[in-house]
Structure formats: C-alpha cells, structure tokens
Chains A and B, each alone.
Chain A
Amino acid sequence: EPEVTQTPSHQVTQMGQEVILRCVPISNHLYFYWYRQILGQKVEFLVSFYNNEISEKSEIFDDQFSVERPDGSNFTLKIRSTKLEDSAMYFCASSEARGSSYNEQFFGPGTRLTVL
C-alpha cells in the first residue's frame, strides 16, 4: 500500500539554526500539507501546497517557514531560525484532490523536532 514517508524521524537542533524536514508524498497525489502537533496538544494545520504554490496557510506559518517541492517527489518544510516553541511533531500529508469527504489526507509518520 502506498504511503507518505518522512525523514528524519527525529531532528535535534540548536535554537536559531535552520532545519529542513523532508517528505515524500504518495506518488499520484496532487495536494500536499504540513501539520504540527506540540506534545500533548492538538494537530494544527500549517500549510497546503498545490501546483507548485501555497494554496492555504495558517497564522502559524509565518516568515520563518517555507515549503518547496524541489523535484518530482520531495516536499520540504524549512524553518529558518528555530525557536524553542517550534519543538513539535511535524506531519506531512497528501491527498489526490482537494479536500472533501471523498479525498482522504494520508499522513506520514512524522518528524519529531526538538529545539534546544
């Protein structure tokens, strides 16, 4: 069964450093997403991406964040200057088409980011 993959599974970084989280969505999917979940809290939407551009973003997704699809398979989330409060699990997801009851978003296993 096709699945979304993410690397690394765990990233530890120093405050102020840049990190890049990587995702490989399911191959025939067209919509890609990043979510984050701070430990013990709810899953929060960050950004959605379609046709090589951002389609929606939340208030969390400020200038410190960027996304890119550098090639035909990878989808990356970059945090330019990490803060302690960026420590969270970051989930990538993908779907075949735009959100609806019939277009499930499939989640990757997540990258746990720890900012020291």
Chain B
Amino acid sequence: AQKITQTQPGMFVQEKEAVTLDCTYDTSDPSYGLFWYKQPSSGEMIFLIYQGSYDQQNATEGRYSLNFQKARKSANLVISASQLGDSAMYFCAMREGLDTGRRALTFGSGTRLQVQP
C-alpha cells in the first residue's frame, strides 16, 4: 500500500484565492511527522510546513496551514491568498519513527499547482 497518497495530479487556482492540496498517509507507527515541500520548475525542494503526530494544534506558517485530521490520516495543505509564484509541484512527505533519529522521508507523487492571473 502507498504510504503517502496525493490524489490530485494537477490543480488550478485563481490568484488571491485559497487552495487545498490533499494528502493521506498510512502508518502504524504512533510517532511520525508530516512535511510539505514545494518544488518549482528549477528543481530545488523548499520546505514549507511540518506537523507532528503528537501535535495538538494544526501547524501554520504564514500563508500555509495544515489541516491535520489524525483519525482520517490526512494532512492537507491549505495555501491562502495564492500568488503567481506559488505555481509549482507540491509534495507531501512522512518521516516515521521520530524517536529513532532517522531522517528518511517517504514522498507522495506530488500535485502540480498552477495559479492563474
């Protein structure tokens, strides 16, 4: 089974509107973290936001927020007030076994977001 599932290969959003990118995950480990990265066409991976499995509140970082629903195993990224520069691939990733110190990430297949003027 896929550990990280991103069901939206592509999304369009109008500039200044909000958009939600879906991510569901599968793990039996009680200690895990979820990350979102942005990859522009230039190729670099840019860290956006993190949510830990034990965190009580949904994470927020500027225009990015994470809608974390632990029981449903979903960690959707919400981008508010979209900008043209937000056009990129977005990846959801999971790190299991947070207490092991290991850093390996499992990535989803990504969602390509296009912001239209």
| A and B together in one complex | no
- Where the two chains meet, the residues of A that have a C-beta atom closer than 8 Å to any C-beta of B are none
